[in-house]
Homo-oligomer: A and B are copies of this chain.
Amino acid sequence: MCERKCKGCDYSADFREVHEECGVFGITTGGDESIDVREEVRYALYALQHRGQESCGISVNDKGVIYTHKGVGLVPEVLTDEAISKLPKGTMAIGHNRYGTKRTADVMNARPLYIRHAKGTLSLAFNGQLVNAVEIRRQLRETGIIFHTSSDAEVIAYTIAKERLGCDSVEEAVKRTMEKLKGAISMVVMSPRKLIAARDSHGVRPMCIGKLKNGGFVFASETCALEVVGAEFVRDVRPGEIVYVEDNELKVYRRGKDRPDGLCIFEYVYFARPDSVIEGQSVHHSRKIAGALAAKYEPKVRADVVIGSPDSGLEAAMGYAEESGIPYGVGLIKNRYIGRTFIQPTQAERENAVKIKLNAVSETVRGKRVILVDDSIVRGTTSKRVVKILREAGAKEVHMRVASPLYVSKCYFGTDNTEKKDLIAGRLDLEGIRKELDLDSVAFLPLEQMVKVTPDAPNCGFCLGCFTGKYPMDVSKADETDKYSEKLGN
């Protein structure tokens, strides 16, 4: 499903930024002076790099004063030794990796977002997407609040600041903000004295709590960031929970629900790192299960080899192979050096371009009936090329098995910002998909099977909106036209 990650650099203007699937992280030393929070944030953001490669940043809290550094680029490009050395050592910090669309790759959209409000300062790192941003922004703006961008992060930060005017603590302001805002929200807020984590009541995006040896605490989007900073997993932040660290103590300000009722299933399917555990469920294992489940369903075919689409389809392919008894093979090799600095071919349509990224292992597929497993299909463009490569390498038959259902509806919570008309399953039926991708057969995981891929998260409820068009909350206002997008004259 890597087709979604097209990069680029462009200039923001007056359009709505619809996408904030990101990685967030926060840390307090707990008084342990051997811990350099700047380094730890850097390690953690490195581990969370898969959640956002557009821009990144850090805010360090040194005795109540917050210093921020951010920029467009990968973690090693932005958080260089030189940049890190100019920040104070500090005792608290937050970090953020942003994954935006190419139109928003601008430093103005990099996070954390640091603001100075009436009662102090705060820095915010946010993962998710609001569904009532337009409305809330309209309200804020009518009270005279000024916006620099059209990002959800500004809406959230300003709401906290506004609520803070009428209450006694920043955690209370965060609570009130969470009540006002609708959408997927997993965020870390750092005030001069506190580090706060909050997660929406449906638990759409993940967020977990870790503990350092000598008393410090950590909040992170995924557990894979805990290990790199030497933190022990404590638990997931609960849906609707507001939790914060003050004076080296972890305090629950508002207790949330025990289990999400709208956790994004796509975190397991594609987004999260395989070595992470979300709500008790290993991401890696859920992918293998999805592959195995896919193998149980029609249409069954005789095949010689099962291969996966690198990297995200490999685990499902292994599960499929184990379940079906058809041998697993390595049929496609991805160029390890493909990266964001790769030069686009001058003839963009050039077929060799995709060959640079992906090559077939002829010995695996030549003359074979191949089952190609992928985790999902969104637009279908990459899948089409992969099938072509396999056929050119001599595959006799290519049967595609997708370890998730037909992706038919738009996501409003940050997974992907493809409009319905660009979704292959939104515009074609199964036979249409088969033809477009030039397959011998194609099958998707039935919806009722999708929910079985998380046996270790037994009571967890999921958002399956992209497969069903039914969302855990009202999204009717999410597509509202923002008056900011109108060209207001005066």
Q: Are A144 and B145 in contact (CB under 8 A)?
A: yes
Q: Are A333 and B147 in contact (CB under 8 A)?
A: no
29 residue pairs of the A-B complex, CB under 8 angstroms, read A11-B86, A11-B87, A14-B65, A39-B345, A39-B346, A43-B355, A49-B335, A50-B336, A53-B337, A74-B341, A75-B337, A76-B341, A76-B342, A81-B346, A107-B107, A116-B141, A117-B144, A117-B147, A144-B162, A148-B148, A168-B490, A192-B488, A192-B489, A193-B489, A224-B333, A228-B352, A228-B359, A284-B363, A314-B330
User: Is there a chain B Cβ closer than 8 Å to A31's Cβ?
Assistant: no
List residues of chain B with CB within 8 A of the CB of A149.
116
Within the complex, the shortest CB–CB distance from A17 to chain B, in Å, comes to 12
List residues of chain B with CB within 8 A of the CB of A490.
119-120, 164, 168-170, 191-194
Q: Are B355 and A11 in contact (CB under 8 A)?
A: no
User: Is there a chain B Cβ closer than 8 Å to A343's Cβ?
Assistant: yes
A250 to B168, CA, bound (A): 51
**Which residue in chain B gives the minimum CB-CB distance to A233?**
B362
Q: Contact flags (1/0) for A329-349 with B, using CB distance below 8 Å? A: 010010111010111011000
Q: Contact flags (1/0) for A99-133 with B, using CB distance below 8 Å? A: 00000000100000011111111000000000000
A318 to B49, CA, bound (A): 28
Q: Are B337 and A50 in contact (CB under 8 A)?
A: yes
List residues of chain B with CB within 8 A of the CB of A157.
146
List residues of chain B with CB within 8 A of the CB of A390.
none
**Among B119, B273, B346, B359, contact of A224 (Cβ-Cβ < 8 Å):** B359
**Among B81, B335, B361, contact of A46 (Cβ-Cβ < 8 Å):** B335
Q: Contact flags (1/0) for A64-90 with B, using CB distance below 8 Å? A: 111111010011110111000011000
User: Is there a chain B Cβ closer than 8 Å to A221's Cβ?
Assistant: no
A interface residues, Cβ below 8 angstroms from B: 9-14, 39, 42-43, 46-47, 49-50, 53, 63-69, 71, 74-77, 79-81, 86-87, 107, 114-121, 141-150, 157-158, 161-162, 164-165, 168-170, 191-194, 224, 227-230, 273-275, 277, 282, 284-285, 311, 314-315, 318, 322, 327-328, 330, 333, 335-337, 339, 341-343, 345-346, 351-352, 355-356, 359-364, 484, 487-490
List residues of chain B with CB within 8 A of the CB of A170.
490
Within the complex, the shortest CB–CB distance from A312 to chain B, in Å, comes to 11
**Which residue in chain B gives the minimum CB-CB distance to A53?**
B337
Q: Are A119 and B488 in contact (CB under 8 A)?
A: yes
**Among B47, B64, B80, B169, contact of A487 (Cβ-Cβ < 8 Å):** B64
Q: A13-B66, A81-B346, A363-B277 are in contact. Are A146 and B487 (CB under 8 A)?
A: no
Within the complex, the shortest CB–CB distance from A251 to chain B, in Å, comes to 14
A145 to B117, CA, bound (A): 7
List residues of chain B with CB within 8 A of the CB of A80.
343
List residues of chain B with CB within 8 A of the CB of A49.
335-337
Q: A39-B346, A148-B115, A490-B193 are in contact. Are A361 and B322 (CB under 8 A)?
A: no
Q: Are B356 and A43 in contact (CB under 8 A)?
A: yes
**Which residue in chain B gives the minimum CB-CB distance to A71?**
B107
A164 to B489, CA, bound (A): 12
